[in-house]
Amino acid sequence: MDQQLLSRTAAAMVAKGRGVLAADESAGTCETRFKSINTPCTEENRRAYRGLLFTTPNVERFISGVILFDETTRQKTDDGVLFPDYLARKGILPGIKVDTGAKNLALCPGEKVTEGLDGLRERLAGYFKAGCRFAKWRAVITIGAGIPSHTCLYANAHALARYAALCQEASIVPMIEPEVLLDGDHTIERCEEVTEATLRATYAAMAAHNVSFEHLILKTSMVVSGKANARQAGVEEVAERTVRVLKRTVPAAQPGIVFLSGGQSDVSATAHLNAMAAMKGLPWPLTFSYSRALQNPALNAWKGQAANACAAQKAFHHRAHMNGLAAEGKWKPELEKAAA
């Protein structure tokens, strides 16, 4: 465990005005997204698409790291440079998704637990050699009638903690992602309650497994109304409730927090981040680790055609720029209109 390397990596991940691109979609998720633009989900198309994102000129001004999928660590740019090496040369930290997905939790109908601990120590050693300096593990928490259960919260917290300890042992910064899904008709009050319970369980497990809070990054969902709820909370309420939960549960020693977009629209995710980052007296920096909220405009501009690569890169650069401003509390809606 190289504590100096872990400290440098964690600090770089949440550097001022920069955030993390989540480009760790599985082939199945990529297929769904590529279908939306009528593009076959071949390995070459996945390589070409991710390559155009990574090679976007000057995007390193706003992107501090990229979460890769296993396949992507072995793919190359058009010039023949492995993606992790290319990103590192550009000043962007390569990261890696290491869980193997959420599976049905036994005796807990409607709930999931994330798997992937078997062989993880050996896989982490390989990813470190490949240049990956941080990792990600996602847990899925569903709000519904009688759920989440105590069993679900603590099963996922236990897995997150074991993963985090193995990462730190390997000198890889663990990004923990206990995501409370926005699917459902629950109120924002219920989301706040579940988010707090989830984070309390998560950090209790971290402490029990001797995980160093100084070398840990939280990737969290925001406290929002359920997608099907009639009352959708406004930006300020989302920001207030989210930060309140974080202050109650996340140690001040932690280097920073990144947010997932969780199905929010591109601009909504930016606006919510901006409102939180603009708050005074926060004990940690707040920034983004978005997937769809960063990629959607680029994907729609690309349409699977090499001729559209420049337009796609322009769209990606704009969203990265907007979220970089939001991470400093400097974003304004007029900036979106100016670019339209």
Residues recorded for the chain: 340
| Number of C-beta neighbours around residue 115 at 10 A | 12
**What sign does the dihedral 24-29-35-40 (CA atoms) show?**
positive
State how far the alpha carbon of 117 is from the alpha carbons of 42, 60, 111, 160, 204, in Å: 28, 32, 19, 9, 19
Q: Say whether 177 is catalytic.
A: yes
Q: For tokens 């890696």, what's the residue? A: 96
Mapped onto helix, strand or coil, the DSSP state of residue 256 is strand
- Indicate if the alpha-carbon torsion angle 299, 39, 21, 47 is positive or negative: negative
Whether residue 222 contacts residue 242, with contact meaning beta carbons closer than 8 Å, is answered with yes
Within 13 Å and on the Cβ side, how many CA atoms surround 265?
4
CB-based contact 14:58 (threshold 8 Å):
no
Tell me the C-alpha distance between 180 and 226, whole Å. 10
> How far apart are the C-alpha atoms of 177 and 114, rounded to whole Å?
11
Half-sphere exposure of 56 (CA within 13 A, CB side): 28
Catalytic-labelled residue, pool 111, 177, 179, 196: 177
CA distance 102 to 177: 12
Give 25-53 as a DSSP string.
--HHHHHHHHHTTT----HHHHHHHHHHH
Give residue 65's region: left, alpha or beta (phi > 0; psi -120 to 50): beta
Q: CA 175 to CA 191: how far, in whole Å?
A: 22
Distance CA 154, CA 145 (A): 18
Return the SS3 of 119: coil
Give catalytic residues, as residue numbers: 177, 219
